[in-house]
Structure 1
Amino acid sequence: MLSVLVEELVIWFPVVLWGSLFAWSYHREPRQFKNAIFFLLLVLSLIGVVFLYSYSSSLTLFLVLLIPLAPIVTIIFLVVNGVRVMRREGVSLPTLLPLLLAVAIIAWLVGLPLVLGRFRGSSVALSLAALVCVLGMWFFFSFVALLLYSWFYRKLPRKRVFDYIIIHGAGLRGEEPTPLLKGRIDKAVELWKAQGARAILVPSGGQGSDELISEAEAMCRYLTANGIPQDSILLEDRSTTTMENLLFAKHLLDAQGLGTYRCAFVTSDYHVFRTALYASKVGLKGDGIGSKTAGYYFPTAFIREFIAITKEHWLPYVIITMIWAASVLAPYLGHLLGILFPNQ
C-alpha cells in the first residue's frame, strides 16, 4: 500500500510542482515571460500523467511517431507558409522569417550530426556541439512555450470595465489606416460600445518618416468618421515603438488626474502578449485585447514577436553558455591550481 502511495506521489509531483509555480506566478502577474515556461512544463507534466494512466501500445506508437514527425511537419508548414506570405506581401526580411526558421531547424537537426561525424573524436567539436544543442533546445522550447501561453492569455475572459482603451498603431496607406490597423480600431470600438461607451479611446502612434500624418491622427479621423465623439478620444501622437506607445500613453493618462485606472491594450492577436508584457514593465494596469490577423500572416508575425521577446529575455542563453564555459575550463583550472599549489 505504501509503495503504491509513493508511486502515485512520484507520478503527480511534477504536475503539482509546475502547477503551483504557474498558479503563484500567474496570480502575482499574468504578464510575465516565465509564466509561459511554467505553463508548458505543466502541460507536459499532465500529458505524461495521462500517458502513464492510459498506457497502450497504440498511444506509445503515436508518441514514437509524433516525436520524429513533428519537426518534419513543422519544416514543411514553415516553407509552404513562407512562400505564401512572400507571394502576397513581397520579399523582405519579415516575410523571409518562416523560411529562415525552417532552415534553422534543419541546420540544428541535420547539421550537428554532420559536424560530429566530420570531427569525430574531437573533444572541442563535441563540446561546441553540446552547447549548440542545448541552446537550440532552449530556443525551440521557449518558442513553443510562448506560442502556447500567448494563446492561453488571449483566450482568458475579459469582463473588467476599462477606463482607457489604448489602440496601437500599425502603419498607414497615405493618410488612411491599413487593413491591419482598421482591424485594431474596429476591435477597440467594439469593446468601447460593449462597455456602454464610457471609456476614453487612446489612439497611439507617431508620424513615421514615410507617413504624411501621425498614426494617432489617422485613427482619430477613422473613429470620428464612424460616429465616435471627439470628447471620447485622447491622442498620443509621439511614439514610434510598442514600448513608447505604452510609456507615452502612461504619461498622458497619469496627467488626466483620474488616480487609479485600468487600460485595455488593443492590438493584433499575435502582438497581445508582448504588448501586455511591456505594459507590465512601464506600470500600466490592464489587459491585452487582440484583433484577428489573417491566418496566412500569423506565423510570420508571431516569429517576429518571439524574436523581440527573446531579445528582452536573453539571460537564459548567457547562463547556459556560462555553465558550458565553466565545465570546459574546470579541468584546466584544476591543473592550474595544482601547479600553483603543488603541496595542497
Structure 2
Amino acid sequence: MPIDAFLHDAGIYVDWQYIFSCALLLSPAIISGALFIFSFLKEPRQFRNALYLLAALAWTSFFVILRFGNNTSIVVLIVILLFAPVITAIFLLINTITVVRRNGFSLTSFLPLLMAGFIFLMYFSPILVYHFNPDVRSIAGAIFILFVFEGLWFSFTFVALLLYSWLYRILPRKRIYDYIIIHGAGLNENEPSPLLAGRIDKALELWNHQNQHGKFIVSGGQGTDEVVSEAQAMHDYLLKKGVPNNAILMEDKSTTTMENLQYSVLVIGHDTQRSDYTTAVVTSDFHVFRCAEYAHKLKLKADGVGSHTRGWYWPTAFIREFIAITKSHLWPYYTIAALWATIQILHYLMTSTGFIE
C-alpha cells in the first residue's frame, strides 16, 4: 500500500490488523454513540436516547476492559455483575420498610419490594427450573428463559432511563420562559403537600431568576378525597408568596400527567395568539423526563425542570415513573416473546417430525 511505504519511510510502523480488530470491536459503541448524538441534537426528550447512550457506554466499557484490562479487572467486573443485583435487591427491601413507615401501606409503597422480588426471581430462576418435575422441566425452562430475556431488557431500559433522566435534568436551561406549568400532586386538606410545595417553590425560584417574567399555569384537578382542586391550592399558595393574581392561570380539570399538559396547552391558547412562546414544566425531579416526553408527543416546546425529592422516597417514585414510561414502549417485550415463541414452535416441529434428534 502506498500509505504503508510512506509511513515506513517516515519511520512509522502501523499494525493494521490491530487497528482493524479494535475498530471492529468498537463499531457497536461507535454506531450507538453516533445514533445518540444525532437523536439527542434532534430532540433530547426521546426515550430512545437513553438506550443509545447506555449501549454506547456499556460497549465502550467492555472494549476497554477487554483490550486494556488484566485478569484481576475482569474478575472484579464479573463479581460486580454477579452481586450488584443482589445488593440492589437488599437495598430495595430496606427501602420498602422505610417507605411504609413514613408513607403508610399502599401499592406504591410496595413497589421497591416488587422490584426486589423480580430481581431475586431472575437471579434464582435456574435453580427453580432444576427443581421442577422432569416431565414439565422443558416447558418450565422455556418459560423461565423467556422471563430472563424479558427481564434483561427490562433491566437494561431501567438503568438506561435512570442514567439519561439524570443527564436530562442537569442540562443547562438558558431560556426565558413565557409560561411555567406546575404539575399538581396530593394535598393536605386545602394546602399543598410537601411534595407539591417543593414544586411550587421551584417554579417560584425559576420565575424570580428570570426577573418575574412570564405566567404560572397551576395544573391539577380535584380528587375524590380532596377539599379543593390542586390548581386552587397552588393558586392560593402563590398568592401568599406575593405573586400577583394576573400572573397565575388555572387549569383544574386534569387527572393525569398527559391531561396536565393537554389542558395547559388549551389554557395557553386562550391567553395568547402567539405560537413562539417558551414553556417550562415544573415537577418533581423523578417525574421530569416523563413530562418532557409527553410534551414532545404533544409537540409542545417545553423544558422539564425538577424540584428536589427526599432520598428515601426517590426509589419508589422512580420505579413508578419507569413503569409508566414502559407502558408506552411495550413493543420490544412483544417482539421478544414472539421471537421466543417462534423458536420454540420450530424446535417442536423439527423434533416431532424427526428432522432433529
Give the TM-score of the pair, scaled to structure 2. 0.90
Q: Distance in 1 between matches of 2:263 and 2:353?
A: 55
Q: Distance in 1 between matches of 2:141 and 2:109?
A: 35
- After superposition, residues 60-99 of structure 1 pair within 5 angstroms as 60-99=74-113
Give the letter for the 1:327 counterpart: I
- After superposition, residues 141-160 of structure 1 pair within 5 angstroms as 141-160=156-175
**Preserved contact between residue 262 and residue 284 of structure 1 (Cα < 8 Å):** no
Give the letter for the 2:73 counterpart: L
2:23 is paired with a residue of what secondary structure?
Answer: helix
**Preserved contact between residue 119 and residue 125 of structure 1 (Cα < 8 Å):** no
TM superposition shift of 1:117: 4.0
Give the letter for the 2:331 counterpart: L
Per-residue deviation, residues 51-110 of structure 1 (Å, max 9, x unmatched): 235313432232122111101110111011111111111111111111111111111211
Give the structure 1 partner of residue 207 of structure 2.
192
**Preserved contact between residue 125 and residue 144 of structure 2 (Cα < 8 Å):** no
Q: Distance in 1 between matches of 2:127 and 2:349?
A: 30
Bigger mean CA deviation after superposition, 15-24 or 126-135: 126-135
1:235 is paired with a residue of what secondary structure?
Answer: strand
TM superposition shift of 1:150: 0.7
**Residue 17 and residue 167 in structure 1: after superposition, are their counterparts in 2 closer, same or farther (change >3 A)?**
same
Q: Distance in 1 between matches of 2:304 and 2:133?
A: 50
Give the letter for the 2:321 counterpart: E
Give the letter for the 1:45 counterpart: W
Q: Distance in 2 between matches of 1:59 and 1:286?
A: 44
Aligned match for 2:150, one of 130, 135, 144: 135
Give the structure 2 partner of residue 48 of structure 1.
62
Bigger mean CA deviation after superposition, 247-256 or 174-183: 247-256
Aligned match for 1:27, one of 41, 47, 68: 41
Q: Distance in 2 between matches of 1:119 and 1:40?
A: 40
TM superposition shift of 1:231: 1.4
Give the structure 2 partner of residue 308 of structure 1.
324
Give the structure 1 partner of residue 236 of structure 2.
221
Per-residue deviation, residues 295-336 of structure 1 (Å, max 9, x unmatched): 000000001111111111111111111111211223566799
Q: Distance in 1 between matches of 2:44 and 2:130?
A: 42
**Residue 38 and residue 123 in structure 1: after superposition, are their counterparts in 2 closer, same or farther (change >3 A)?**
same
Give the letter for the 1:306 counterpart: F
Give the structure 2 partner of residue 281 of structure 1.
297
2:57 is paired with a residue of what secondary structure?
Answer: helix
**Preserved contact between residue 116 and residue 125 of structure 1 (Cα < 8 Å):** no
Identical amino acids, percent of aligned pairs: 47
2:249 is paired with a residue of what secondary structure?
Answer: coil
Give the structure 1 partner of residue 227 of structure 2.
212
TM superposition shift of 1:259: 1.8
Q: Does 1:267 align with 2:273?
A: no
Give the structure 1 partner of residue 8 of structure 2.
none
Aligned match for 2:250, one of 235, 239, 245: 235
Q: Does 1:164 align with 2:179?
A: yes
Higher-Rg member (1/2): 2
**Preserved contact between residue 272 and residue 290 of structure 1 (Cα < 8 Å):** yes
Unpaired runs of at least 5, structure 1: 339-344
Give the letter for the 2:91 counterpart: F
Per-residue deviation, residues 226-261 of structure 1 (Å, max 9, x unmatched): 111111111111111100000000111123212222
1:21 is paired with a residue of what secondary structure?
Answer: helix
Give the structure 1 partner of residue 4 of structure 2.
none
**Preserved contact between residue 75 and residue 105 of structure 1 (Cα < 8 Å):** yes
Give the structure 1 partner of residue 138 of structure 2.
123
Bigger mean CA deviation after superposition, 47-56 or 274-283: 47-56
**Preserved contact between residue 116 and residue 129 of structure 1 (Cα < 8 Å):** no
Q: Distance in 2 between matches of 1:148 and 1:120?
A: 42
